[in-house]
Homo-oligomer: A and B are copies of this chain.
Amino acid sequence: MGRKRTKSGKIRLAEVAELAGVSPITASRFFRNPEALSIAKRTRVESAAKELGYVPNLAARALASQRTEVIGVLIPSLTNNVFSDVLRGIYDASEGNRYSIQLSNTRYSILQEEKLLRLFLAQKPAGLIVTGIDQTAESRAMLEAADCPIVQIMEIGPDPVDMMIGFSHYDAARAAVAHLFEQGHRRIGFVGARMDPRVQRRLDGYVSAMKDAAMFEQRLVVTTATPTSVTLGGALFTDLLAREPDLDAVFCANDDLALGVLFECRRREIAVPDQIAIVGFNDLEFMASAVPTLTSVRTNRYEMGKTAANMLIEAIEGRRPEQPVLDLGFKVIERQSSSSRHSESRPAGSGAGAANKMVALPSGHD
């Protein structure tokens, strides 16, 4: 016997086809590749579909075609501002086309990532966006065996699984430190939280730049595995200052920490940048508006997400980009907090003041 079920009055493809006077398969093609139809049938199917308010059943499509139109995205955090920009780019790129985004949070655990990857892959996604280059061996093997395009985002490194978009955190950190040296600073501290692989590489970049100048000392580095926050920035800076009273600059692994350091300086009545210079990382919006305005390393997060999704979609549709690895670079945005020109006391007036001096560098060249 057949079944009753809800019926639900749902319009099926066959009904559209009937109204349009074509076979179901022709109607089906209309939705997937309209150019394959003659103009006459195309318009007939189109108006029939509109008249009936037809919406394709994605589950049936996925079952029959053995593939989904889902782009899986694995990111390590939903809290972090950085990822919300990337995500926004990804969602924006997915808008207006057939693909939908399936998001999962690895919580900075590569084991969790491996588990989620297995889950995702089982559903045959159309493509995958994964964060970073530090997958487990197992994950790496699964990614390589996957029969869908894959983009690694947030950083670039050797040996991409497939496509890759990001920048060199190592080089970016070196550039930030170089900027501080240029401004005449020598005892430059490093403040970092969470210490995920990308923050770790920023630390590596800092260390190498400091060693190049023969200025590195272990006690200039304060890090913690704790998730980042503004408050934490103040606390870590407090530690750093206790260890190294002669500190004359701080390079913060992100902007929240930098803001925390700025507030802590204000609390302690330490003049920024005259006594201590501050450089952040990511160039979040508030950096330009703080007092003093805060120097940061600008990273193209939104563009990264958007381009990653676009590259992926192109690849899904068979048009592999000629550039599978894209270095988006970074820019050191110099502002008052690290400027050796003594911060003029600016009177009334809003905004960030003078145009930012930008130091742009493509990463990957040391």
Contact = CB atoms under 8 A, between A and B. Distances in A.
Interface of A: 5-6, 8, 55, 57-60, 62-63, 66, 68, 78-79, 81, 84-85, 87-88, 91, 95, 100-105, 118-119, 122-123, 147, 229-231, 233-235, 237-238, 256, 259-260, 263-264, 266-268, 285-286, 288-291, 346-352
Smallest CB-CB A-B distances: 9 pairs: A59-B62, A55-B122, A230-B286, A234-B350, A231-B289, A266-B291, A59-B63, A78-B88, A230-B289
B78 A84 contact: yes
A8 B66 CA distance: 10
Contacts of A118: 55
Given A91-B105, A229-B285, A231-B286, 15 more contacts: A5-B66, A6-B66, A59-B68, A59-B123, A79-B85, A79-B88, A81-B81, A231-B289, A234-B289, A235-B350, A235-B351, A256-B286, A263-B289, A267-B291, A267-B346
A84 B79 contact: yes
A302 to B, nearest CB: 9
Given A60-B63, A79-B84, A289-B260, A350 B238 contact: yes
A194 to B, nearest CB: 14
B285 A230 contact: yes
A335 to B, nearest CB: 13
Task: Give the oligomeric copy count.
Answer: 2
Contacts of A63: 57, 59-60, 63
A288 B350 contact: no
Given A62-B59, A79-B88, A103-B101, A234 B290 contact: no
A67 to B, nearest CB: 9
B59 A6 contact: no
Given A235-B350, A286-B256, A147 B291 contact: no
Contacts of A5: 66
Nearest to A234: B350
Contacts of A91: 78, 103-105
A71 to B, nearest CB: 12
A102 B100 contact: yes
A55 to B, nearest CB: 4
Contacts of A238: 349-350
A287 to B, nearest CB: 9
Contacts of A122: 55
B87 A78 contact: yes
A85 B351 CA distance: 28
Nearest to A77: B88
Nearest to A349: B267
